[in-house]
Structure 1
Amino acid sequence: MRRTERVFVENLGIHGFHGLFSEEKTLGQKFYADIECLIARTEPPSDAMKDAVDYGKLCDLAHDISASGPFNLVETLAERIGHGVMENFPLVKSVRVRIRKPKAPIRHFLDNVGVEITLERDAPSPG
């Protein structure tokens, strides 16, 4: 039997001072993050939190990384969150991080702009 396990957070609101313009760095703005983790297990899951990826801790991690900025680019924010997930959650085989910026300072009507990255652990070398 094949099994896929995903742990995800959608539409996490994060206030940050990220962007290229001085107003963005001074006033800050809201960003939205989606984090999706694919889980690798050798055994069936237990019913204990120690054997799970805590989505509350995923939210805390994203918030803390955003607060460690400012970053010029949302790509940097996404990358740092992705690496933070991989470093702190050994069960995660891959992570997808999507950052949306609903109030981007561009002259077009839109809902969001943003970036999405995916990070995967390297497969173990044979032999």
Structure 2
Amino acid sequence: MSVLDTIRLTRVTAIGYHGVFEHEKRDGQPFITDAVLHMDVGAAAATDDLSKTADYGAVAEAIVAVVTGEAFDLIETLSVCLAEKILADFPVVQAVEVTVHKPKAPIQVPFGDVSITVFRTRESVQPATTAVESS
């Protein structure tokens, strides 16, 4: 296996309509996403060529498209869909770690944040089983 470098995007924020309660799907709330892209950036660095890396602007746009797209009950589902979308759309990415924060989750006690982190590799995601087909 080649060396894996990382590109890290933090606090990509968008309003989504995810949650098990009707008011969450109706009113929406902020979801904050962190993504760590694992890949070899050697070819991009050697050639100074954007096409040989993952364009982090395009990754951020893909994240926002998924968060603002189809509504899910669980942020677990949202997180997996985000990871699968990044792997599908950015072939240079060999693995991705996605954390979705739901800072306004409907929890009845004081809390700072709730989040879930998923890690997916290109080998662990089969095209026929991706949750997001065309987001």
TM-score when normalising by structure 1: 0.88
Match in the other structure for 1:36: 36
Deviation at 1:75, TM superposition (A): 0.8
**Superposition deviation, residue 43 in structure 1:** 4.5
Q: Contact conserved, 2:31 with 2:67, CA < 8 A, in 1?
A: no
Alpha-carbon distance, 1:68 to partner: 1.9
Deviations 1:10-42 (A, max 9, x none): 011111010000110110000100000010367
1:22 is aligned to 22
Range that drifts further, 14-23 or 38-47: 38-47
Structure 2 residue ranges without an equivalent (≥5): 125-135
In the TM superposition, residue 4 of structure 1 has moved relative to its aligned partner by 4.0
* Distance across 1 between alignment mates of 2:42 and 2:7: 17
Aligned partner of 2:10 in structure 1 is 10
Runs of 4+ in 1 over 6 A off after TM superposition: none
Structure 2 counterpart of 1:111: 112
Residue identity over aligned pairs, in percent, reads 26
Q: Secondary structure at the match of 2:123?
A: coil
Gaps of 5+ in 1: none
Identify, as 1 or 2, the structure richer in strand: 1
**C-alpha separation in 1, matches of 2:13 and 2:44:** 33
Q: Distance in 1 between matches of 2:87 and 2:42?
A: 18
CA contact (8 A) 2:3 2:40 kept: no
Question: What's the secondary structure of 1:92's corresponding residue?
Answer: coil
Which residue is 1:65 aligned to? 66
Counterpart-to-counterpart distance in 1, 2:26 and 2:4 = 43
Please give the secondary structure, in 2, of the residue aligned with 1:98. strand
Q: Which has the larger radius of gyration?
A: 1
The 1:44/1:52 distance shift into structure 2, 3 A limit, reads: closer
